[in-house]
Amino acid sequence: MQIQKPKGTYDLTPKEAFQRTYLENFIRKVFDNYNYREIRTPTFENTKLFKRSIGEETDIVSKEMYTFNEDEFTLKPEMTAPVIRAYVENRMFNDAPLQKLYYISNMYRRERPQAGRYREFSQFGAESIGSADVTSDAEMIFLADAILKGLGLVNYKIRLNTIGTLAERGIFISALKEYLTDFTEELSNDSKRRLEKNPLRILDSKDAADLRILENAPVLTHYLNDSTKMHFEKLLSILKELSNKIQVDPRLVRGFDYYTSTTFEFVTDTIGAQNALLGGGRYDMLAEQLGAKQTPAIGFAAGIERLEMALKAESVDIPKEKEIMLYICSAGESPREKVLGIINKLRAEGIKCDTDFLGRSVKSQMKEADRMKAKYVIVLGDEEINNDTAELKKMSDGSTLKIEGLEKIINYLNNEN
RNA sequence: GCGGGUAUAGCUCAGUAGGCAGAGCGUCAGAUUGUGGCUCUGAAUGUCACGGGUUCGAGCCCCGUUACUCGCCCCA
């Protein structure tokens, strides 16, 4: 009986895994360059952590969590809450007033899979904890842009907005609700539901009728006080070199409850309906909610699968697996048994090499060497073994070179590295 | 949770009117003793997703199920 992978999961076969690792390494390098340090947290957390931070009413918490042990634990659906939990639990605020952290990790959400959406998926992200200053907002967006741009992506936009403090947003939400209530009958079914649960989400609606109603709806910007507006203006001015990519969008809202002030989203039109490559914003109230003193913070998270889709859509080259330096063919049973000892010595010298394990013909072994893109091949038979010599064949042009002694082969190949 | 599409070899896919299960790629082997790529020859791999029904006969028609996929919702 054949068993299939769970819905919404995927395997990365060696070629794909190699590219994933390349991406991760690239991303780590950029984080490191910005002086962000890696943090790792458990795969599962106490369920309460997500209920408190993301919000009980959100879809993620109310119906998409992988919860077990009678609701005690949950596979993490996102990383901001775990990072802040770890920050508080490890008293990291005592190490330094500003902590700049990053992660690359798998997340779990029980959603219906579709293009760019998986039940187990991989995110990378950063959290800058401790500063309310606008320069932190700017660094976060520069950082996110540096990663996408550095990988070679061109076709994306940065949607940017401020959703104000909790107080400002509260007043706005009441006004919005009041306005929309007059149109309750004309709203889409989804928006009728959102009107009760999360009115801000209506701003994100794609429904044509909703959009028409929204044309005359209250605008969040008008409900923000001067300091919030000033913060946003300063941010735009620091980010002016990105201005060709930035689209200020007063209707950009985020799904999680903990966001305040600056929010942003990097979107592309090349990967289907799930077009957000990266999303983030400020969450100045979260650390306090999770037991620290009031601590401002900002962060983002990006989906690696979506990034891979975008790279593919834009035909960005990703390096291929490294070829092997040497393939040793053995001619006959007795040489074959000696070869393993030989390649073991070569490998100890850092030479990437391989040989045949199936007892195939020399011709087949040559084909194998070709498939592995070996730079050099040696065929060892009784004669070569007895005389400790080898004919080193360069696969690119077929030329051969007679070498005496294993030591000389090692020297020769090490010079090639 | 709701809606659309699809399901045939490892991969990409054909399969005519309901009448023998196919191609390309890949894999394996051979083409003068122990040398790759190009070419040629040959071979292996199938529960035609699964379960029912109609029929002399079903990959094809009908019903159901499952999986995958795309969209809504939600979000990275």
**CB distance A53 to A290 below 8 Å:** yes
Question: Kind of pairing, strands A326-330 and A353-355?
Answer: parallel
- How far in angstroms lies nucleotide B17's C1' from the CA of residue A131? 75
* pTM attached to this predicted model: 0.92
* pLDDT averages per 10-residue partition of chain A, 417 residues: 81 89 96 98 95 83 87 94 96 96 95 90 97 97 97 95 90 92 88 86 86 89 93 96 94 82 93 91 92 94 94 88 92 90 94 93 94 94 92 93 91 86
The confidence score (pLDDT) of residue A300 equals 97
Question: Kind of pairing, strands A246-248 and A157-162?
Answer: parallel
The confidence score (pLDDT) of residue A322 equals 84
The confidence score (pLDDT) of residue A342 equals 94
Q: A267 pairs with which residues across the strands?
A: A157, A276
- Rounded to 10°, the helix A304-313/A14-33 angle is 100
User: Residues near A170 by Cβ (< 8 Å), separated by ≥ 6?
Assistant: none
- How far in angstroms lies nucleotide B59's C1' from the CA of residue A399? 53
Half-sphere exposure of A200 (CA within 13 A, CB side): 23
Whether A64 sits with its Cβ under 7 A from any strand B atom: the answer reads: yes
State which residues between 278 and 317 of chain A bring their CB within 7 Å of strand B. 278-279, 301-303, 305-306
- The two tokens of residue A36 are 């962000």
Give the integer Cα–Cα distance in Å for A232 and A250: 12
Residue type, A73: F
The confidence score (pLDDT) of residue A6 equals 87
**CB distance A417 to A325 below 8 Å:** yes
How many helices and strands in chain A, by DSSP H and E? 15, 16
- How far in angstroms lies nucleotide B69's C1' from the CA of residue A161? 34
Chain B nucleotides reached by a protein CB under 7 Å: 1-3, 27-31, 34-37, 67-76
Sheet holding A400-404, edge to edge: A353-355, A326-330, A376-380, A389-394, A400-404
The confidence score (pLDDT) of residue A153 equals 95
Whether A368 sits with its Cβ under 7 A from any strand B atom: the answer reads: yes
Place of tokens 């660094």: A139
Whether A323 sits with its Cβ under 7 A from any strand B atom: the answer reads: no
| Distance (Å) of CA A380 to CA A136, A374, A383, A404 | 62, 16, 8, 13
The confidence score (pLDDT) of residue A33 equals 98
Query: Which helix (H) or strand (E) segment is A143 a member of?
Result: helix A134-151
- How far in angstroms lies nucleotide B26's C1' from the CA of residue A91? 56
Give the integer Cα–Cα distance in Å for A35 and A33: 5
The confidence score (pLDDT) of residue A197 equals 81
The confidence score (pLDDT) of residue A102 equals 98
- The two tokens of residue A182 are 């007059």
